[in-house]
């Protein structure tokens, strides 16, 4: 018996992120919740504003659907630490929408950084 899912089902999950994410933060360690990832939180190092145009929903690289997250440059680092996680936040509703690991990078308060483009991908179900 095969398994199938319509793109609209996967898009619903991805659009929750696209339509509500307004802040991306760089964190030292995996934040357990919204407060830890947000500005001033225990894991917070740097942040950059996000808009719907920074998050593009489309076909996945292999299957399914994805959000292509735009690169961001000139991000001001607020706290010194080792950035190894990136979080997408909905600050209007205090929701930690998504967290992923990133290449570990030593950051110094007062410096700037660039985050390259990356994807969130949901694969089609397999048999």
Q: How far apart are CA 85 and CA 31, in angstroms?
A: 8
Domain range for residue 89? 7-122
Report if residue 34 sits inside a domain: yes
Grouping H, G, I as helix, E, B as strand and the rest as coil, residue 19 is helix
User: For the chain, what is the radius of gyration of the CA atoms?
Assistant: 15
Is 127 inside any structural domain? no
**pLDDT tens track for 12-22:** 999 999 999 99
Q: Could you give the number of structural domains in the chain?
A: 1
The verdict on residue 63 lying in a domain is yes
Residue range 69-84, pLDDT digits in tens: 999 999 999 999 999 9
**For residue 37, what pLDDT is reported?**
98
Compute the distance between CA of residue 60 and CA of residue 66 in angstroms, rounded to an integer. 5
pTM for this predicted structure: 0.95
pLDDT of residue 127: 65
Ranges of residues in the chain with a pLDDT under 50 are: none
């Amino acid at each position: 018996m095969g398994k199938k899912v319509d793109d609209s089902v996967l898009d619903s999950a991805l659009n929750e992120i696209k339509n509500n994410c307004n802040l991306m933060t760089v964190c030292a360690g995996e934040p357990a919740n919204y407060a830890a990832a947000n500005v001033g939180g225990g894991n917070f190092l740097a942040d950059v504003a996000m808009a719907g145009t920074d998050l593009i929903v489309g076909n996945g690289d292999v299957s399914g659907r994805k959000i292509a997250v735009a690169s961001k440059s000139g991000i001001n680092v607020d706290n010194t630490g080792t950035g190894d996680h990136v979080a997408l936040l909905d600050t209007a509703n205090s929701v930690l929408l998504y967290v992923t690991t990133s290449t570990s990078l030593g950051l110094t308060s007062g410096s700037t950084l660039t985050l390259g483009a990356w994807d969130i991908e949901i694969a089609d179900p397999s048999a």
